[in-house]
Amino acid sequence: MIKAGIIGSTGYAGAELVRLLTGHEQAEIVWYGSRSYVGKDYASVYPNMFEIVDAKCLDDNMEELADAVDVIFTATPQGLCASLVNEDILSKCKIVDLSADFRLKDVKIYEQWYKIEHKSPQFIDEAVYGLCEINREDVKKARLVANPGCYTTCSILTAYPLVKEGLIDPSTLIVDAKSGTSGAGRGAKIDNLFCEVNENMKAYGVATHRHTPEIEEQLGYACGQKIMINFTPHLVPMNRGILATEYATVKEGVTKEMIRKAYEKYYNDELFVRVLPEGMVPQTRFVEGSNYVDVNFVLDNRTNRVIMMGAMDNLVKGAAGQAVQNMNLLFGLEESMGLKQFPMFP
């Protein structure tokens, strides 16, 4: 059995990790870390785990934790993992970091967008960007995995085949994305109160959202050049889900058949990316609670643009599910182990 520890187990992503790992055949959680609830029963924080999890919340002592586990998940705000990780810890266990601390390869870009100093830049080059469908073989050899963000996972996977195959002009890419409120975390914030969110929809982080450089960097690797995109996220009144609608100009001569073949080339053998049939649009309700990403497209010959669409659960494939997928790769397990839950509906 893989012994796992979670720092930040009482946030939404951390709680989703607890749910998934509790049902994992080859993993057990031995450390429920939570700075806010040290000493409290985990099930008192999340009563859905009553008589399922019989453990108390511990602190975030990564040094002690590294001696007790095979893998550490850090489901924490930006900056914490980077401030705690060191060579001694990495020599003892694997780390899957759900924050943005090791996603960007340029420390200056990280510090510019996140407005904090990076505390361990010496590990940035080593860290593997844990988008399994793209970096699977590198993840298998890693000590430190940078688990991608929710918006970025959906945005990248939706456009990746067309960027990689050179079917679109990546400099024309526009990403319009919507997220349920769980993506903002469990912390008390006025903008997330029921009366603020209910019966409302708004754009936020317009031209400034911190996932922008992450999307640009990864799609830039795909096309072999630096790119800049417009990325606009929106908050919608639902608990879970990401829907990305993306627009780009297609290259001369590109047909609908070429686009579909590109999606099939990269995703036909991927369990968790479902390329929908023509005429079916991705919907968040049909991926909820699962690790699936549904994608599809429409070619608009009138404007010479392609509209790409992707939907997924922000807490599963966008956070905890992807982290478990990375753990499975790190330890040579079946990649889908612990992640075979069907989408919930209604």
**What is the amino acid identity at position 197?**
V
| Contact (Cβ atoms closer than 8 angstroms) between residue 83 and residue 120 | yes
Q: What is the CA radius of gyration of the chain?
A: 20
User: Locate tokens 């002592």: which residue?
Assistant: 61
Q: How far apart are CA 277 and CA 129, in angstroms?
A: 30
- For residue 150, indicate whether it is catalytic: yes
- H helices within the chain, ranges in order? 12-22, 42-45, 62-66, 80-84, 87-92, 107-114, 132-140, 150-164, 194-197, 212-223, 256-267, 321-330
Among 93, 132, 150, 154, the active-site one is 150
User: Locate tokens 């001369």: which residue?
Assistant: 252
Q: How far apart are CA 138 and CA 240, in angstroms?
A: 30
- Taking the CA atoms of 254, 257, 260 and 265 in sequence, report the sign of the dihedral they define: negative
| Residues 6+ positions from 206 with CB-CB distance below 8 Å | 232
Residues tagged active-site? 150
